[in-house]
Amino acid sequence: MMNRNNWLYAAAIAALLMTSACGEKTNDDAQASAGAPSSAAQATPLPSASASLPASAPASPSAGEATDAPASSQGASAEGSGAAASGEPADQKILIVIDQTEKPIEGNSFDFAVKQVPSGYALSEMSWTSGDTKIVNTLQDAIAHGGNGEDGFYISGDGQFMGFFYPDELKGQEGEVSFLFKDDNGQEKRWTKKIKLK
């Protein structure tokens, strides 16, 4: 009788553990199909196109935030909310929010959040271009900067925090921030936005 009770308790605990894990939603499957390495998949969870996210940016972003439609792979920037800016289906658009709210503790920086990415695509490269300055960081560079705090694009906290640290010389400059996404076949999609660094 004692062994039977122990067996029932063990079976109940195992069933409880299995059912509690069934509701766990991860991005590992989407990242794996996008060709991202497993360490990058954990460090940069990007939403898939099947996630219930808005297909376009809000009509009037709050102060300090910029949203824009995706640029085509040729690099032309589309202006506006993105709802009708390009002929791409909603699930093929890229949506990134840039937040330039001042953070005195962090210094010169802006944050960004990748809200929507076409299915099968993963973040590959980020760049800032203004005047004679061109800063290009790969995904691996950004993850390294997230750990060491160097200037440039950073991704830290398992992808919870993403942004761009820049030196005082760039403060006040107008330029273009660009994000490159690639799929397994090498096809590229680029999102660009002109902003003025605060």
Q: Buried (b) or exposed (e) across 65-93, using 16+ Cβ within 10 A?
A: bbbbbbbbeeeebbeebbeebbebeeebb
pLDDT score, position 65: 43
* 130 token code pair: 């203004």
pLDDT score, position 81: 32
Domain membership flag for residue 34: no
Alpha helices in the chain (DSSP H): 2-22, 28-33, 38-43, 139-148
Over residues 9-63, the pLDDT tens digits come to 666 666 555 555 555 444 444 444 444 443 333 334 443 333 333 333 333 333 3
Domain membership flag for residue 189: yes
Domain membership flag for residue 24: no
Task: Using a cut of 0.85, tell me whether the model's pTM lies above it.
Answer: no
The arithmetic mean of pLDDT across residues 157-165, rounded, is 88
Q: Buried (b) or exposed (e) across 108-145, using 16+ Cβ within 10 A?
A: bbbbbbbbbbbebbbbbbbbbebeeeebebebebbbbb
DSSP state of 8: H
pLDDT score, position 108: 86
Of 159, 182, 172, 145, residue with least CA distance to 112: 159
pLDDT score, position 89: 78
Distance CA 3, CA 145 (A): 55
Domain membership flag for residue 35: no
pLDDT score, position 27: 47
The arithmetic mean of pLDDT across residues 139-157, rounded, is 92
Neighbours of 22 (CB within 10 A): 7
Over residues 105-132, the pLDDT tens digits come to 777 899 999 999 999 999 999 999 998 8
* 105 token code pair: 């503790």
Domain membership flag for residue 51: yes
Over residues 66-109, the pLDDT tens digits come to 444 444 333 333 333 333 345 677 778 899 999 988 877 777 89
Side-by-side strand order, sheet with 65-68: 65-68, 95-99, 109-116, 161-165, 152-156
Structural domain including 60 reads 43-196
Distance CA 91, CA 55 (A): 7
Domain membership flag for residue 66: yes
Domain total in the chain:
1
Distance CA 175, CA 97 (A): 16
Pick the residue with more confidence: 184 or 48?
Answer: 184
Q: What percent of the chain has pLDDT over 70?
A: 56
Q: What angle do CA 132, 139, 36 make, to 5 degrees?
A: 150
